[in-house]
Structure 1
Amino acid sequence: MRQALGEMDAAGIDFSLLSLTSPGVQGVVDPRQAVTRARVANDQLAEVVAAHPTRFGAFAALPLQDPAAAAAELERCVTQLGFHGALVNGYSNVGDADTGWYYDHERFLPFWERVEALGVPVYLHPRDPLAGNRGIYEGHPELFGAVWTFTVETSTHALRLMTSGLFDRFPGLTVILGHLGETLPFNIWRISHRAAFMGDLITFEKPLSSYLHDNFYVTTSGNFHTQTLNATLAEIGVDRVLYSSDYPYESMREASDWFDNAAISDSDRRRIGCTNARRLFPGLPERIGP
């Protein structure tokens, strides 16, 4: 953590939320092992936070291979360890690496009920698609990961949550998407417009754009582009955007240099860089920074 703290100081970042990166617990094919590994990872994260309480918070790693255990682990992390929510790395593998569960399935309804009751967000982080969904990328390995497959996989997962009626059942749910929303702020009008013509296939109550506006936040992680930021602000509003650097995959210094000089108002800069996070994560320490 010494290196991370040094990077934060150099970039002028006071406070960071830590999480287990992709695929993390989601890639553990045995549910019992996933439960054990999630608990170990969260206990280790809690030790880091306890050593630096004014600099770090944490998102829980969750074993969604066992939805009931995931709900219990989230509650433990929030109520006992002081975590600010959870981060899940896409679908969870079950049985083998070619089988995955997405979280729109009814088996996850008790989990989402617990999330809403706890009042914390779930960050939906990318991972590469299942082997059976990779045909279109054959011969093009350069498109995997952060270049493109992460975006398609995560935005599709988010749309599955919307179209399943999840947010009608649990309107208080909050999901966070990175990379300025995985293209959804720029495509949601057309998606919502065309989905309205699906007739008997419609199992949701509102325009899909309403769920993006009301149930999602997006972060600037790994998408340091002012035109894209301004387009996102125009679609979902400044109060739904959070600053993030995507460290260690991206440079904190690059992220901060861009954000500090982006062509947005100082008021918007403050809300994205601080105020929105304090509202979404009310347990943040009153005084943060070195």
Structure 2
Amino acid sequence: MRTIGLEEHFVTPELADYGASSASIIQPEKWREASRRLLDLTGERLAEMDAAGLDVQVLSLNSPGIQAEADNATAVARAAAVNDLLAGVVADHPDRFAGFAALPLQDPQAAARELERSVSELGLRGALVNAHTRGRYLDHPELRVVWERAEALGVPLYLHPANGVGTPHVIQGHPELVGPMWSWGSETATHFLRLVFGGVLDDFPEAKVLLGHMGEGLPYVLWRLDSRWAYHNHHGIELARGNPSEYLRHNLYVTTSGVCSTPPLLCALLALGSDHVLFGTDHPFEEMAEATAFLESAPIDEEDRAKIAHLNAERLLGL
């Protein structure tokens, strides 16, 4: 069965320093190995894909990427350069790779133009966004232009974690909870909910949003969201779709990246429907072979397995 992974990271030597903050989160020897593998685009990566039975990787720049750049003009130039490089890798291996663009969200108008160029001229399949950019999330009014362009192009934005602006008080004193262990997931789930309650998904009702890690816990709480929204002080907010769960079922797509476990997979399928669950490995922070073996052996029917493995990605990304 053809298998397409949607959360497959890389970095270039010029951009590697942007990810240095992860060095404090990951065990030193594991960070060194992950850093080495991130720099490899077509050597060991292709051999590992072959061994794991992973036909296609949709490549994306490792977190936090361009969004960590302090200077706007540098961010714009570096985003264009890395997207050009990525498009070249895809052109050299069109049967094995596709790509998500990096966006210079420091400059919203430039980010929208870069998304347009990346999709229309370079053939990339959307963009991946790593959490906040200088404290701004994607519900910020100035970033509506990026959503307008994404909806018009029909491509998704993949919301990926990164370090937050600060450490929440409840986590202070517990550095073990910072990062993918816990805080990244809760922050990324909140990022999506900001799109719901911030009106983005009412302004752009056909926007498509991807979340990794089996939806960052959101599929588990759909009933609770609706129940409490009916009870809660709305603070003047009205949702065009009525209930929060309707946005998750309509706009949200999740990938299996970094979660090789049956209970959350079944929850995602039951909560969102099999058309909204796609495959990912979270390379190089998880092992491709473990992820593909999990998908192959998961106790789901073959129609759903094919949707997750490749059919949904082909439809959503035009592959």
TM-score by length of 1: 0.93
Q: Which residue of 2 aligns with 1:61?
A: 102
Q: CA deviation at 1:33?
A: 1.5
% same residue: 49
AA paired with 1:24?
Answer: G
AA paired with 1:130?
Answer: V
Match of residue 54, structure 2, among 1, 5, 13: 13
Match of residue 114, structure 1, among 149, 152, 155: 149
Q: CA deviation at 1:276?
A: 0.7
Q: CA deviation at 1:125?
A: 0.5
Gaps of 5+ in 1: 94-99, 285-290
Q: How does 1:219-230 map to 2 (within 5 A)?
A: 219-230=255-266
Q: Distance in 1 between matches of 2:143 and 2:103?
A: 12
AA paired with 1:20?
Answer: L
Match of residue 301, structure 2, among 242, 254, 265: 265
AA paired with 1:160?
Answer: R
Give deviations 1:202-239, integer Å, cap 9, x for gaps. Answer: 24222110000000100000011011100111110111
Q: How does 1:146-225 map to 2 (within 5 A)?
A: 146-196=180-230, 197-206=232-241, 207-225=243-261
Q: CA deviation at 1:79?
A: 0.6
Q: Which residue of 1 aligns with 2:118?
A: 77
Q: Distance in 1 between matches of 2:239 and 2:303?
A: 35
Give deviations 1:102-158, integer Å, cap 9, x for gaps. Answer: 111111112211111111000000112112x43221121111211001101100110
Gaps of 5+ in 2: 1-41
DSSP-derived class of the 2:210 partner: strand
Q: Which residue of 2 aligns with 1:33?
A: 74
Q: Which residue of 2 aligns with 1:47?
A: 88
AA paired with 1:6?
Answer: A
Say what the alpha-carbon RMSD is for the aligned residues: 1.1
Q: CA deviation at 1:20?
A: 0.3
Are 1:233 and 2:269 counterparts?
yes
Q: How many residues align?
A: 276
TM-score by length of 2: 0.84
Q: Distance in 2 between matches of 1:85 and 1:167?
A: 17
Are 1:275 and 2:311 counterparts?
yes
Q: Distance in 2 between matches of 1:9 and 1:275?
A: 20
